[in-house]
Amino acid sequence: MKAISIHQPWASLLVTGRKRFETRAWHTNYRGPLAIHASRLLTSIGTHLTTQKPYQQLLATIGVDTYKDLVLGKILGQATLVDCWRVMEIPDANLPTETELAIGNFGTKQGAREIWAWLFTDPKPLTTPFATGGTLGLWEIDDYLYNQAEHRQSVTSELPCQPASDSPPPGLRPSG
């Protein structure tokens, strides 16, 4: 299964359906299920935002009262990537809500790079997230381990991740 690492609190918001869009400075042709990995690092911005509206209210709906409740360095679940557009080309039928605009990066550029909006549906959080390393771009997670976690079996892993063929070019650091 392909996976993507996302900083908190955005990873939790995505895998629980509180957020439909992930914005990146790169495009992907991949469509289908993606395991959502919460990055090991909680940025100072992520920490600060957990105390601000609308993040604080959204996180409270999933049992996160403080940044210390956020899971780091683990696969949280999966969601289905259904499309990917330049931010300025999102179809009217899929426009971000006011809340999504407040919690996302819907500017047109990040430095010199265009911003791409990745639309996700069908979020499925795991009951018991499991630890694994992450990396930039899309990468592969062992299907067997994911299926074990999905069926609520205990999974402990510190697997290295394998970059997927649809990863961004070397030197391109995805955002978010």
> Would you list the domain boundaries of the chain?
2-163
Q: Where are the beta strands (DSSP E) in the chain?
A: 2-6, 21-24, 32-38, 74-86, 109-110, 113-114, 116-131, 138-140, 162-163
Rounded to two decimals, what is the model's pTM?
Answer: 0.83
Q: Right CATH number for 2-163 from 2.30.130.30, 1.10.760.10, 2.40.37.10, 2.60.120.380?
A: 2.30.130.30
Picking from 10, 153, 118, 149, the residue whose alpha carbon sits closest to that of residue 72 is 10
Per-residue model confidence as pLDDT tens digits over 33-71: 999 999 999 999 999 999 999 999 999 999 999 999 999
- 119 neighbors 163 (Cβ within 8 angstroms): no
Per-residue model confidence as pLDDT tens digits over 122-137: 999 999 999 988 888 9
Per-residue model confidence as pLDDT tens digits over 87-136: 999 999 999 999 999 999 998 777 768 999 999 999 999 999 999 888 88
**Beta-carbon contacts of residue 132 (< 8 Å; ≥ 6 apart):** 37, 73, 74, 75, 141, 145, 157, 158, 159, 161
Could you give the percent of the chain with pLDDT greater than 70?
85
- 7 neighbors 104 (Cβ within 8 angstroms): no
